[in-house]
């Protein structure tokens, strides 16, 4: 039998994926499987346009609305019930790496064009552009309605005043890209970097008060459990639990076969993780799950991003906090 080329394999797997979408109306709301696919960002599978337009980031506005950023330089707002994009935000000139919500009408975005933009949702426009980083803005975290922080490929973290539109402080200490940020309290945050470390920062003093070492490769993601505990995911395929006061890793979680790309906390003793996945036998799977977000609402939505498809696929789980054994996903989405 003739060997299939890569395009033929992609086409076949894409048709399988589309058939899964047609099952939507037959799926009960609490079965914990694929509920809806949101697709308007350009995809690798638009055969008239083979450019890579992966969806890179998500942020939740409310129980029926979220926003997405993509390699097509565009941000979209989505209505979950209707399954459609209701507004498109344009202004960045390169990839959208990160999003953060300030209030129900305002969010910020960070881009590979080295800028951060402030957006008004009702008006659908950018009302302010923040300049200062000399490389891509890779992560954002909101401290309060007027203050946020950003991490960059220029190895720095910046503190911004939203009202004045300026950076009020620059935090230096990492020696490679800053990939992730997480807020502990209004004067403390942590950062993860390609230098394999995590740093604890004091905002008032503008210094790193502690460095957490233990990962043997890039730190991709962080999530805070409580004021003295957080978890980190790394390119070394592990997740580590950290005690802030002691400055040590108290536990290492192993099980992923590839890098840990994202983390989300369900409750203080439970979290979920997403991992890169590379198949070597001509089987098609997403390159990685690059982000997901958990929000405890009437139902629990688990939003996963396939970096190769340019699509968003929320998985609706049973209300409350499910165990990992209750999570069922289509074969197209593999997390380890």
User: Is 2.130.10.10 the CATH number for 58-287?
Assistant: yes
pLDDT of residue 85: 93
pLDDT of residue 291: 31
Name residue 210's beta-bridge partners. 200
3-state secondary structure of 292: strand
pLDDT of residue 158: 98
Q: How confident is the model at residue 152 (pLDDT cuts 50, 70, 90)?
A: very high
Which tops the pLDDT comparison, 286 or 171?
171
pLDDT of residue 44: 36
Q: DSSP of 301-312, one letter per residue?
A: EEEEEETTTTEE
What mean pLDDT is predicted for residues 4-17? Answer: 56
pLDDT of residue 273: 86
3-state secondary structure of 171: strand
- Dihedrals phi, psi of 41, to nearest 5 degrees: -60, 145
Does the pLDDT of residue 103 top 60, yes or no? yes
Model confidence over 190-211: pLDDT tens digits?
999 999 999 999 999 999 999 9
Does the pLDDT of residue 306 top 70, yes or no? no
Model confidence over 237-270: pLDDT tens digits?
999 999 999 999 999 999 888 899 889 888 767 8
Q: How confident is the model at residue 279 (pLDDT cuts 50, 70, 90)?
A: very low
Instruction: Note every long-range contact of 80-86, with CB atoms under 8 Å and residues 24 or more positions apart, other chains counting.
Output: 80/36, 80/301, 80/314, 83/36, 83/37, 83/38, 84/38, 84/40, 85/38, 85/40
pLDDT of residue 269: 78
Which tops the pLDDT comparison, 273 or 11?
273
Q: Which of 8-12, 90-94, 116-120 has the lowest mean pLDDT?
A: 8-12
pTM: 0.74
Q: How confident is the model at residue 2 (pLDDT cuts 50, 70, 90)?
A: low
Q: Give residues with Cβ within 8 angstroms of 293, minimum separation 6.
A: 58, 59, 60, 66, 264, 301, 302, 303
Residue 142 CA to residue 182 CA, distance in Å, equals 9
The answer to whether 250 touches 232, Cβ cutoff 8 Å, is no
Q: How confident is the model at residue 14 (pLDDT cuts 50, 70, 90)?
A: low
The answer to whether 232 touches 215, Cβ cutoff 8 Å, is yes
Torsion of CA 100, 226, 201, 204, to 10 degrees: 90
Buried b or exposed e, range 278-289, using 16+ CB within 10 angstroms: eeeeeebbbbbb
Q: How confident is the model at residue 303 (pLDDT cuts 50, 70, 90)?
A: very low
Buried b or exposed e, range 26-36, using 16+ CB within 10 angstroms: eeeeeebbbbb
pLDDT of residue 319: 27
Q: Which of 10-14, 91-95, 204-208 has the lowest mean pLDDT?
A: 10-14
């Amino acid at each position: 039998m003739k060997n299939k080329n890569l395009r033929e394999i992609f086409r076949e797997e894409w048709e399988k994926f589309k058939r899964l979408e047609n099952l939507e109306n037959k799926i009960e709301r609490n079965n914990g499987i694929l509920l809806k696919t949101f697709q308007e960002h350009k995809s690798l599978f638009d055969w008239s346009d083979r450019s890579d337009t992966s969806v890179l980031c998500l942020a939740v506005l409310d129980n029926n609305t979220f926003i997405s950023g993509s390699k097509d330089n565009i941000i979209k707002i989505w209505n979950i019930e209707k399954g459609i994009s209701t507004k498109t935000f344009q202004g960045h000139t390169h990839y959208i790496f990160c999003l953060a919500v300030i209030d129900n009408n305002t969010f910020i975005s960070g881009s590979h064009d080295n800028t951060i933009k402030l957006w008004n949702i009702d008006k659908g426009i950018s009302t302010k552009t923040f300049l200062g980083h000399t490389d891509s803005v890779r992560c954002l975290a909101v401290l309060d309605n007027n203050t946020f922080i950003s991490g960059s490929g220029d190895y720095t973290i910046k503190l911004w005043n939203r009202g004045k539109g300026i950076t009020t402080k620059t935090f230096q200490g990492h020696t490679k890209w800053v990939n992730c940020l997480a807020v502990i309290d209004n004067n403390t945050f942590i950062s993860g970097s390609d230098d394999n470390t995590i740093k604890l920062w004091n905002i008032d003093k503008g210094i790193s008060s502690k460095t957490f070492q233990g990962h043997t490769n890039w730190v991709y993601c962080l999530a805070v459990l409580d004021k003295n505990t957080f978890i980190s995911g790394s390119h070394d395929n592990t997740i580590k639990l950290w005690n802030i006061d002691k400055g040590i890793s108290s536990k290492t979680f192993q099980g992923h076969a590839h890098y840990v790309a994202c983390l989300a906390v369900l409750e203080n003793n439970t979290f979920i993780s997403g991992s890169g996945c590379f198949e070597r036998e001509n089987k098609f799977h997403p390159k990685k799950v690059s982000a997901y977000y958990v929000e405890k609402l009437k139902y629990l939505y688990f939003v996963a991003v396939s970096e190769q498809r340019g699509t968003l696929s929320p998985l609706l789980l049973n209300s409350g906090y499910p165990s990992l054994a209750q999570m069922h996903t289509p074969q197209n989405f593999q997390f380890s």
